[in-house]
Amino acid sequence: MSDAFVSYSRKDKEFVQSLHVAFEEANRNVWIDWKDIPPTADWWNEIERGIEGANAFVFIISSNSILSKVCRQEVEHAVRHNKRLIPILRDDAFDSTNLHEALVRHNWLFFRMEDDFDNAFQLLCKAIDTDLEYVHRHTRLLVRTLEWESKRRNDSFLLRGDELTESEEWLYKSYEEPKPTEQQVNYIRKSREAEDLNQRLAAAGQRAKRLVRIGSVILGVTLSVAAIVGGMTTWAFRQLHEAKIATNLERDGADALLQFDDSGQLDALLSAIRTVQDLKQLVGEERALQDYPTITPISSARSILDNIREQNKIQTYQSTLYSVNFSPDGNTILTTGLDGTARLWKLSGQLLQKFEGSQERKAVVSASFSRNGDHILLGREDGTVQLWDLTGQLIREFIGHQKNVWSVSFSSNDKQILGGSEDGIVRMWDSLGQQLVAFKAHEGIVWDVRFSPDNKQILTAGGDGVARLWRRSGQRMILVTEFRGHQDEVTSANFSPDGQQIITASSDKTARLWSLSGRLSEEFRGHQDGIWNVRFSPDGQRIITGSGDGTTRIWNLAGEQVDEFRGIQGKIFNASFSPNGKQVAAVGTDGNIWLWILESSQVTQVPVNQGDIEIIDFSSNGEQILVGEKNGIVQQWNLAGQQINQFNSHQDEIRNARFSPNGQQILVVGKNNIALLYSLTGRQLAEFRSPQTTVWSAKFSTTGQEVITIGHDGTAQLWRLSGEQVSEFIAPESKIHNMGFHPEDEKVVTGDQGGKIRIWNFSGQQLSEFKSSQGGIWIAKFSPDGERILSYGEDKTVRLWTLEGQEIARFRGHRGGIRDVSFIPDSEQIITIGSVDNTVKFWNFEAQQLNEYRLSQGNIVSVSVSPNGQTLAIAGDNGIIYFYPIRDLDLEELLQQSCEWLKDYLDSNSNVTDSDRQLCNTQLAEQHSLRRVH
């Protein structure tokens, strides 16, 4: 790693040489490209590695550098990886509108001819050294992250032990600059997931050993008194046998979760229900859940089922698949393959039709459905383009191409047909086979060819690194626009559904979004290998890419990755959205069709805005959800996604917004440090403002007749709804961080900076206290029955206590910190919300994890549980609220739902064993019989 990377124009080389001398005299290690690039190295890759491995990015601003294409690319790479930017001004004789916007946002250091070089250099060194330890960690983590991604995310390159813990602590300081990249956050997240799963496996082994040890003791004692109580010997042997089986079940359940994260989700679910079935046989029909020797198999299967998005994996018996297309009605899939056939499939995996038509079995490399879905178009390796009906009848061949036809396309009215070939030629025919036009579109392969939605223009992508937009004029094609900027072949190009934008993909690992005029709007980076295809979603709001790195990724139009699908063991050549935009299909070198859903079937989505949600809260009847936005807007929605009301609280950056227990008032706290009470229509009813301090948190009492506020000075105040202060709570020599109300009595519990948990009455009189070893207590809450206290502390653990301070259980499992903890009403369960790992975990009071929910898109910003304890609402930073059902760990229901999900996979995949098929066939048959009886 180096202290800094210096980006400059070659025309400023003399100045940079003097700067380099100063760096060397100051014993600074800087990366400057005239020195560090080996002659045989790939030039741009070396530049990228140099930027990634530097703590700071120093940019020489001059009239030369701001016009340099390479300098601009270097800035963009630094910005993409959140490097610390230090612009230094060499001359100011330039048009500032040409400056990269990232450079405008930073303070400049002045190194002009008239400036004092030595003083300026001291300021430069100081800027490089600011928060040096934090920046060093940023650089080291970035290098490790990119290495992990370059190794196809091999687990052996993940962080472990102290290194992982230190990285998580670094992540907590991410309010500093430079910010962590999404890649770094994901790398730490995956490292923690792997570490936690390994710990769970180890814990499972320890618990299993304990069970075996207990069973052995019981057996030994029983044998010693066998002469007195002979029947106990059989019981003891049974206990020991059960303990040994529980050992394997614990490990197998944890293994299934690890498999879910690392490989196929369907295979992970299948592994999980095997373990659940074994547990079912072990415990029999009568035993209660709390008496099971282990619940890990059930909780693992429940977590997998609630988060699974792999819908099917269809085994095609073809070595390589080149393309995949949904039919217009979304009910079938068309694939093309190296074996010389195209095939039509149901989504369940049933083969409907095979299209051959070539005795030499030349590969079919491209395909397209007609807009009405009645016909298909195939492009072959031998240069032919064929039109088929869905019964497998060859209708017509379109002659002209002599080499591979890598792309075929229907016009939107199905009256014209395009074919793009390896020889750089594009041909257009009418539907009867008459050639209308042929033209040289590219030097090299034509990888993609598309009609515009209005059929007036044609888009081509070529091996010469350019995409081109054409307009037909009689038998001639007129070039309208060129889309230049990719560093390698342009492998795919598509119009947006409205025809106003163009997306391109390249072997250079990037995709790019363009206006029709050729202006670059956005760049999409993240793939570790070339991108083979790119498409818009049907609504035009998302983009899908399939890459040689084995991943399918979903992006928004701002260039941000919002989703990713893995599993394919090889390259992905093609990926596609379904017509309704809810499914994704991908194919590649492994010969399977991979089908995913974009959202879990267990979740309901309600889009409420464009990503400014700060907090959500269920109403007391569970029929509405309150949304507080950062801009001070408060909204009320029903669960069907209809907005009921909205008002402006005139609070900057809402921190807290809550319904009253009777659902008739709303309490809001914002950045202006006042708690305000509103009617549902937004009429202000009262304000709660302490003359001694500013308010940063507030909540209603259990009855809703009082409000408690916590100030920045660490004191709390109790108020009547009229705004009259009732009492004050002051923790001696400490600061109160959080308060919770007792469900019945007029009591509150507080957690403070000194690590004490205290119970008070409403008069502000302390009734009891106990000391926790958690450090500062950030959260303290009473259980729904008022008999326990839940706390979260500075040591990042959650603990359950008796009212007297006896620890009942300790909850660990999140990587990094926790955003919130809460009891689930009408149950003996709690939830914990991770602030870094983007998960919500469910636990019983014995600290056994029962379930886990993860957002597949965006990050969690707020969570609320419905009053009946049956629904979990999660707000994401993408402006969507997700509603999940909260279920008990019912073994039979779990097996039933899992087998229903797996049915198509079990039916269509020959790699599945007969015993696995029989497992689910028996389960589904049993449930069908029960339904008929009832």
Q: What is the pLDDT of residue 546?
A: 97
Cβ pair 355, 388 in contact under 8 A = yes
In this prediction, residue 205 has a pLDDT band, given cuts at 50, 70 and 90, of low
Asked if residue 238 has pLDDT above 70, the reply is no
Q: What is the pLDDT of residue 421?
A: 96
Cβ pair 750, 760 in contact under 8 A = yes
Asked if residue 537 has pLDDT above 60, the reply is yes
Asked if residue 39 has pLDDT above 70, the reply is no
Q: Of 224, 131, 148, 136, which Cα lies nearest the Cα of 186?
A: 148
* Beta bridge pairs of residue 874: 863, 882
Residue 152: helix, strand or coil by DSSP? coil
12 and 123 housed in the same domain? yes
Phi, psi for 271 (deg, rounded to 5): -60, -40
Residue 84: helix, strand or coil by DSSP? strand
Cβ pair 3, 30 in contact under 8 A = yes
The answer to the question of residue 284 being in a domain is yes
Q: Of 195, 252, 394, 295, which Cα lies nearest the Cα of 837?
A: 195
Q: Of 132, 129, 123, 120, which Cα lies nearest the Cα of 18?
A: 120
483 and 366 housed in the same domain? yes
Cβ pair 689, 696 in contact under 8 A = no
What average pLDDT does the chain have? 87
Going through 567-655 in order, the beta strands assigned E by DSSP cover 572-577, 583-588, 592-597, 604-607, 613-618, 624-629, 633-638, 643-648
Q: What is the pLDDT of residue 237?
A: 54
What is d(CA 751, CA 756) in angstroms, rounded to the nearest whole number? 6
In this prediction, residue 467 has a pLDDT band, given cuts at 50, 70 and 90, of very high
* Beta bridge pairs of residue 278: none
Q: What is the pLDDT of residue 155?
A: 80
268 and 321 housed in the same domain? no
What is d(CA 111, CA 744) in angstroms, rounded to the nearest whole number? 69
Contacts of 17 (CB under 8 A, 6+ apart): none
Assign residue 82 the CATH number of its domain. 3.40.50.10140
By CB atoms closer than 10 A (0-12, 13-18, 19+), residue 934 is exposed
Distance of CA 736 to the CA centre of its chain: 35
Distance of CA 559 to the CA centre of its chain: 15
Last residue of one domain, picked from the residues 284, 308, 332: 308
Contacts of 13 (CB under 8 A, 6+ apart): 34
What is d(CA 511, CA 506) in angstroms, rounded to the nearest whole number? 6
pLDDT per residue as tens digits for the range 705-751: 999 999 888 999 999 999 999 999 999 889 999 999 999 989 999 99
By CB atoms closer than 10 A (0-12, 13-18, 19+), residue 135 is buried
280 and 316 housed in the same domain? no
Cβ pair 531, 507 in contact under 8 A = yes
What is d(CA 659, CA 699) in angstroms, rounded to the nearest whole number? 9
pLDDT per residue as tens digits for the range 833-870: 987 777 899 999 988 888 888 877 778 899 999 999 99
Number of domains in the chain: 3
By CB atoms closer than 10 A (0-12, 13-18, 19+), residue 348 is middle
The dihedral through the CA atoms of 390, 545, 460, 462 has a sign that is negative
* Domain containing residue 38: 2-130
Cβ pair 364, 379 in contact under 8 A = yes
Question: Cα–Cα distances in Å, from 756 out to 308, 689, 710, 738, 773?
Answer: 41, 26, 16, 11, 9
Phi, psi for 678 (deg, rounded to 5): -125, 155
The answer to the question of residue 470 being in a domain is yes
The answer to the question of residue 367 being in a domain is yes
Q: What is the pLDDT of residue 170?
A: 75
Contacts of 350 (CB under 8 A, 6+ apart): 908
Q: What is the DSSP letter of 290?
A: G
Q: What is the pLDDT of residue 574?
A: 96
Lowest mean pLDDT among 242-246, 319-323, 385-389, 423-427: 242-246
547 and 562 housed in the same domain? yes
Say whether the peptide bond before residue 178 is cis (omega within 30 degrees of 0): yes
Cβ pair 71, 94 in contact under 8 A = no
Assign residue 438 the CATH number of its domain. 2.130.10.10
Q: Which structure tokens are listed for 557?
A: 């139009």
Q: Of 212, 51, 216, which Cα lies nearest the Cα of 139?
A: 51
In this prediction, residue 188 has a pLDDT band, given cuts at 50, 70 and 90, of confident
User: Tell me, what amino acid is at 921?
Assistant: N
Phi, psi for 132 (deg, rounded to 5): -60, -40
What is d(CA 512, CA 391) in angstroms, rounded to the nearest whole number? 39
pLDDT per residue as tens digits for the range 600-658: 777 888 888 765 899 999 999 999 999 999 888 999 999 988 999 999 988 777 889 99
**Residue labelled with tokens 């003083």:** 119
Asked if residue 227 has pLDDT above 50, the reply is no
Percent of the chain scored above 70 by pLDDT? Answer: 91
Contacts of 64 (CB under 8 A, 6+ apart): 9, 11, 12
The dihedral through the CA atoms of 349, 351, 353, 356 has a sign that is positive
Q: What is the pLDDT of residue 173?
A: 58
The answer to the question of residue 6 being in a domain is yes
Q: Of 657, 681, 680, which Cα lies nearest the Cα of 670?
A: 657
The answer to the question of residue 383 being in a domain is yes
Last residue of one domain, picked from the residues 308, 326, 356: 308
Report CA Rg, the chain.
32
489 and 521 housed in the same domain? yes
The answer to the question of residue 761 being in a domain is no
Exposed e or buried b per residue across 791-823, where buried means at least 16 C-beta atoms within 10 angstroms of its C-beta:
bbbeebbbbbbebeeeeebebebbbbbbbbbbb
What is d(CA 875, CA 879) in angstroms, rounded to the nearest whole number? 7
The dihedral through the CA atoms of 91, 97, 102, 108 has a sign that is positive
Angle at 850 (CA atoms; ends 849, 853), nearest 5 degrees: 95
Exposed e or buried b per residue across 897-924, where buried means at least 16 C-beta atoms within 10 angstroms of its C-beta:
bbbebbbbbbebbeebeeebeebbeebb
Asked if residue 288 has pLDDT above 90, the reply is no
In this prediction, residue 926 has a pLDDT band, given cuts at 50, 70 and 90, of low
Q: Of 308, 309, 302, 311, which Cα lies nearest the Cα of 892?
A: 302
123 and 199 housed in the same domain? no
Q: What is the pLDDT of residue 4?
A: 92
The answer to the question of residue 219 being in a domain is yes
386 and 415 housed in the same domain? yes
The answer to the question of residue 180 being in a domain is no
Residue 201: helix, strand or coil by DSSP? helix
pLDDT per residue as tens digits for the range 47-56: 888 999 998 9
What is d(CA 385, CA 849) in angstroms, rounded to the nearest whole number? 57
Last residue of one domain, picked from the residues 557, 574, 597: 597
Q: What is the pLDDT of residue 174?
A: 55
304 and 324 housed in the same domain? no
350 and 468 housed in the same domain? yes
Q: Which structure tokens are listed for 906?
A: 């079990």
Helix axes 296-307, 891-908, angle to 10 degrees: 60
Lowest mean pLDDT among 182-191, 433-442, 472-481, 746-755: 182-191
What is d(CA 394, CA 780) in angstroms, rounded to the nearest whole number? 72
Q: Of 50, 3, 85, 183, which Cα lies nearest the Cα of 564?
A: 183
259 and 320 housed in the same domain? no
What is d(CA 821, CA 800) in angstroms, rounded to the nearest whole number? 11
pLDDT per residue as tens digits for the range 694-704: 888 899 999 99
Q: Of 908, 862, 147, which Cα lies nearest the Cα of 528?
A: 147
322 and 242 housed in the same domain? no
